[in-house]
């Protein structure tokens, strides 16, 4: 188990280094949330220590704390960012992506969506031929509407997470039936009053960086998952 975890950590670190290497002097950089994104933040911190000038725009309190610890200058979300990197729960070969297991999906959408280039950092286990192997879509809603949303989505076995997101939102996980059209279902979910966002993203396969335990990195567009 330990060696498996170590291998995944090395893969995330490789993807993080590759993302940090693409940051140019003077860039505003979106700092994602999660283990792979944290690897990118640490790699960016090393470049800042070596003299790179940039400003980080964090997507969560956790990424803000890590960026501050590493000496990365931080800023609020004011205007677009030049480049952003973040992790994913699962991504398909065409770039359909589920995010939000960490609850930061709304800030991630705002920051990542503003980026001139948005990079997703994963390792091989985060690639699936479809999103069915993940099967869960996070939904962020205003707390007042949480029960209303759960009732409207009752056929999807909604489960509300304890607590609230960094933005004070309620997070509800819904179960997506195998074989469902995720994008069509996402459109149905978004039409429910009170919902702020969901964790379904679409990204460019060339901008998904797949790290490997040996330190190599390939774009998803060059990577063929087993099976």
Known active-site residue 222: no
Helix, strand, coil shares of the chain, percent, nearest 5, are 40, 25, 35
Q: What are phi and psi of 134, to 5 degrees?
A: -90, -55
Q: Is the dihedral of CA 128, 5, 200, 67 positive or negative?
A: negative
Catalytic residue among 13, 108, 147, 183: 108
The answer to whether 136 and 174 are in contact (CB under 8 A) is yes
The answer to whether 198 and 137 are in contact (CB under 8 A) is yes
Q: Is the dihedral of CA 161, 37, 105, 124 positive or negative?
A: negative
Tokens (6 digits) for 138 = 């996070």
Task: Please list, in sequence order, all residues whose beta carbon lies within 8 angstroms of the beta carbon of residue 181, skipping any fewer than 6 positions away.
Answer: none
Residue 208 bridge partners (DSSP): 120
In Å, what is the CA distance from 80 to each residue of 12, 57, 83, 113? Answer: 26, 10, 9, 8
What are the catalytic residues? 108
């Amino acid at each position: 188990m330990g060696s498996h975890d170590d291998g995944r950590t090395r893969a995330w670190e490789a993807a993080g280094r590759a993302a940090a290497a693409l940051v140019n002097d003077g860039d505003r950089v979106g700092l994602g949330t999660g283990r792979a994104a944290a690897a990118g933040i640490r790699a960016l911190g090393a470049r800042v220590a070596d003299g790179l000038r940039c400003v980080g725009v964090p997507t969560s309190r956790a990424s803000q704390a890590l960026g501050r610890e590493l000496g990365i200058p931080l800023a609020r979300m004011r205007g677009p960012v030049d480049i952003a990197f973040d992790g994913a729960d699962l991504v398909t070969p065409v770039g359909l992506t589920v995010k939000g297991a960490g609850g930061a999906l709304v800030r991630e959408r705002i920051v990542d969506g503003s980026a001139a280039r948005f990079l997703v950092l994963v390792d091989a286990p985060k690639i699936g031929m479809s999103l069915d192997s993940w099967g869960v879509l996070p939904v962020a809603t205003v707390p007042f509407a949480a029960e209303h949303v759960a009732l409207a989505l009752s056929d999807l076995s909604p489960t509300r997470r304890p607590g609230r997101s960094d933005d004070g939102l309620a997070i509800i996980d819904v179960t997506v039936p195998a074989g469902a059209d995720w994008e069509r279902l996402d459109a149905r979910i978004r039409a429910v009053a009170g919902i702020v966002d969901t964790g379904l993203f679409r990204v460019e396969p060339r901008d998904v960086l797949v790290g490997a335990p040996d330190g190599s990195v390939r774009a998803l567009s060059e990577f063929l998952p087993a099976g």
